Structure 1
Amino acid sequence: MKTSYVTTISLDEDRLAKDLAQAETFRYSEAYSNYLIGGPWKNAMLWAAGGDTGSGLVTEYAYEQRPTFTDYGARLPYLQDIISAVAEPDLLQFVRLAVVSDSVIIPHRDYLELGELPEDQRPAHRLHIPLITHDNCFFSEDNTVYRMRAGEVWFFDAAQVHSVASFERKARIHLIFDFADRPDSGPLLRLANASTGDRFPAESRITRPPLPDSRRQELRRLADLLTIDNYRDVFSLVIKTHFRFDGGEDFAWDTMTALARACADPTVLPQIQELRQYFTLDRSDSKE
């Protein structure tokens, strides 16, 4: 399913506030926080196989068990209503309440580690509904940067290289749905007013200026500072630049690789090459 805006649902702010206050009492998983530079990627499972809140790692659930609301999901009546109104339960595998702030996410592809699961059980389609967000929260798919606004429903092609940046301490809170790929089972959503227009509506796209040569030269000088101890900090600067300027396709990984080749620390390049493989090509041997 290609990344595309679907529709916008009206959020009941009072009911949402009550559920989010209740969710503050949950013990959130920080699974997949290695994808972030900044704060953790906190998530609470609201719907999963057997109703198990589990570890948050999608490789560690008993897929043979029927998915249903978890104990956390059962305590959030308004979010239950949203989930039930939006998604066809027979195809829905996971719903997470995900919280991020003041962080960037390393450009990556999802689902790479799920190759051993049967095709009819393997998560293959993702949906996002922002509940709380802000204007300094951005998504990117390849070289397209865009915003998702509160209440918007988006299909999200997690199999493509994508990234996220949140430039504020204010929490960005999303519902994230994962669906199985069973084409003969009918539609994934119960929504009747799905959009058939532009995948990225004009009001959602972010037009970035071309990366100036002067800024590109400044980034290249980071090679003089780059070491194995600070490569994540440097990578964060590169990813943030991607969200503010158009540096071209594969800008973040290509820039980081070039910096690693130019730096004096010989351990950095193998580390970046290993990370690029892990995040964008192959995680078949990994649980996270």
Structure 2
Amino acid sequence: MDDAQPITTLSGQIVQMGHLDGSLIERMRHEALTAPAPWKAEYGEFQSGGWWTTSLMNASGDAADVRIADGSARPTTLLQHMPATAGLLACLGLNYMWVRLARLEANAFLWEHRDYDELEQAERHRLHIPLQTNTSAFLVTGGTKVHMDGGRIWRLTPTYAHGVCNLLGPDRIHLIADVYTDDAYARLTKHAQEPTVDERLPTASEADLSEHLATARRLADLGYTAAAEQLLLRLFYSFAMPEGTAYDLIAGLHTALGDAEASKRWTAAKSTLLALAS
């Protein structure tokens, strides 16, 4: 297991920016819930299931095209059904690479990962506008959990390892915009500040990890291997741990079970999801 210490400061990884009008957010939420969205379950390797996206702006103009890539974004047919949302995006005047709606169901997780590694080298940023959320939905980054509450724009730096969960529901729905740096973006972020409310996770001790690994082993011995893996993956949302610890624990579990192929698979998953050099 890596002896490195977990990051225990947000260090600009997530900041809160301008407030938005409550009535506008409510109109946008209504549009997100009622528009004929072709929700897609993409990036299966990043999630437990229960994470769905649909595109509002991208290079193809196809709302069902949800695997992000660089390009000059244009409105999809879905955005034509969402005038309040389209109006805000136009008003912000940003240089959009991709704009999506993302819906995270109850008891759903996006596993620890980094983003943007597969894209071209360019200065870009990710903005979140929560349209529907609840206090059991939170993001973890740098050993800290943050609930992105509504009524404002948030900026996430997704090149840091992070993950998201929605424990109890209802569905968490965010508008997510990936944008390139320009003057409009600089104006938007001029008064950015770190969250006023966040919670540092307790640091995982060796005893904590050993206890959970033993529980996972018992599950696997009973034939519930997928449940054992998910138990270990969810530790990221309960403890501050060195980066990739959950993946190391799963690989170690499979080694102990005598499944070298599965151990290699999870070691490779760690490299892929955290964009580590092979």
| TM-score band, normalised by shorter chain | 0.7 to 0.9
Q: Find the partner of 2:59 among 39, 42, 49.
A: 49
CA distance in 2, matches of 1:206, 1:192: 23
Q: Deviations over 1:232-285 (max 9, x none)?
A: 43332223233223345543233333333333323221111111121112699x
Aligned: 1:216 with 2:209? yes
CA distance in 2, matches of 1:86, 1:231: 47
> Aligned residues: percent identity?
22
RMSD over equivalenced CA pairs, Å: 2.9
- AA at the equivalent of 2:228: V
- AA at the equivalent of 2:96: L
Q: Find the partner of 1:78 among 76, 81, 84.
A: 84
CA distance in 2, matches of 1:188, 1:283: 31
TM-score with structure 2 setting the length: 0.81
Deviation at 1:191, TM superposition (A): 3.5
- AA at the equivalent of 2:191: A
Structure 1 spans left out of the alignment, 5+ residues: none
Q: Is the contact made by 2:54 and 2:65 (CA closer than 8 Å) also made in structure 1?
A: no
Q: Is the contact made by 1:104 and 1:236 (CA closer than 8 Å) also made in structure 2?
A: no
Q: How does 1:206-245 map to 2 (within 5 A)?
A: 206-211=199-204, 215-221=208-214, 222-226=216-220, 231-245=225-239
Aligned: 1:134 with 2:134? yes
CA distance in 1, matches of 2:261, 2:224: 12
Structure 2 spans left out of the alignment, 5+ residues: 1-11
CA distance in 1, matches of 2:174, 2:98: 13
TM-score with structure 1 setting the length: 0.79
Q: Deviations over 1:33-56 (max 9, x none)?
A: 3311132x2111111125333521
Q: Is the contact made by 1:208 and 1:246 (CA closer than 8 Å) also made in structure 2?
A: yes
Q: Deviations over 1:46-72 (max 9, x none)?
A: 11125333521124x7x3xx4222111
Q: How does 1:89-238 map to 2 (within 5 A)?
A: 91-101=95-105, 102-114=107-119, 117=120, 119=121, 124-181=124-181, 185-188=182-185, 191=188, 194-195=191-192, 197=193, 199=194, 201-203=195-197, 205-211=198-204, 215-221=208-214, 222-226=216-220, 231-238=225-232
Q: Is the contact made by 2:39 and 2:54 (CA closer than 8 Å) also made in structure 1?
A: yes
Residues 1:278 and 1:6: Cα distance change in structure 2 (over 3 Å): same
Deviation at 1:214, TM superposition (A): 5.4
Alignment coverage as a number of residue pairs: 263
SS at match of 1:73: helix
Q: Deviations over 1:100-136 (max 9, x none)?
A: 112111211111222xx4x45xx73111111101111
Which residue in 2 is equivalent to 1:257? 251
